[in-house]
Amino acid sequence: MALASLPCRAGRFVDDSLKVDGHMRHFAMYLPDDLRAQAPLVFILHGYGAGIWRENPMLAAADRHGFAVCLPQGLKDPQGKPSWNVGYPFQQGWRVDDVKALCRIARYVQKRYHLSRPNTFLTGMSNGGEMCYLMAYSKQSTFKAVAPIAGLTMAWIYQSMKAQRPIPLMEIHGTEDRVSEWTGDMENKGGWGAYLPVPVAIGYWVAKNRCTHEVTEQVESLLGADGHPVVKHRYSSPTTGCDVWLYEVIGGVHSWHTADIDTGEEVWRFFSRYLE
């Protein structure tokens, strides 16, 4: 385990690893200064072919609000790309169980770094966002809420899996995303496999969580007229307490959307509603 200081951050990184199903799973922990015992924990998953992003937008929020961050590294898939196994066509035959691995890593870091078991959350972009959806559908109790960014619900997940329980879910997605199309790709024109339109994917969770109230608000981009306005759709459930938030970035492309909103702060605002 190696320690390294991060310039301009009120904390430090710790590189760590854990063996799961014969694979060494590497990850970095970001620990803000003066982090209290049993602090919340947020996992952040990278996109397809990427790696541990030590300048991601959740770190500033971690410093402000006092939560730890885990940045796992995906294993290389059959194409040789670091990724999360969400059943893309070119991942066929790949036996890696990332749901199991991420839950195991969470239990390990909760214990090793004295972090909260009930207050553990999951976010990620693109392929990492797809992994958030797969986790939400899976039978697990490790992650209390998920927040995919530019993520998709693969058609096979929707058609073959039934979510075991309501779970709070937030999605941030650009309407002009040409990698993860807002309108879906049920014909697999993009090669990632068939996936649902974003509103349909969100509608599943609105129904599953028994949300009965909707509040819609449009806010200006942080860049003003030069940016993309954001329509915030917030669906609430007095029955389950598991809300669904959809941030529709009008004209936004495939990104974390940090030019238009404080993504880290917005995601944490959602997660913090579920702290025990």
Nearest to 41 by CA among 124, 120, 107: 120
Strands annotated E in the chain: 2-5, 11-20, 23-32, 39-45, 68-72, 75-76, 82-83, 115-125, 146-149, 169-174, 213-219, 230-236, 244-249
Number of residues that make up the chain: 276
Contacts 24+ apart (CB under 8 A), 225-233: 227/259, 227/260, 228/174, 228/252, 228/257, 228/259, 228/260, 229/260, 230/257, 230/260, 230/261, 233/202
Q: What is the pLDDT of residue 9?
A: 65
Report whether 72 contacts 87 (CB < 8 A).
no
Burial 65-99 (b: 16+ CB within 10 A, else e): bebbbbbbbbbebeeeebbbbbbbeebeebebebb
Residue 203 contacts by C-beta under 8 Å, 6 or more apart in sequence?
Answer: none
pTM of structure = 0.95
Tell me which residues of the chain have a pLDDT lower than 50: 1-7
Question: Tell me, what's the pLDDT at 10?
Answer: 77
Is the separation of the CB atoms in 163 and 135 below 8 Å?
Answer: no
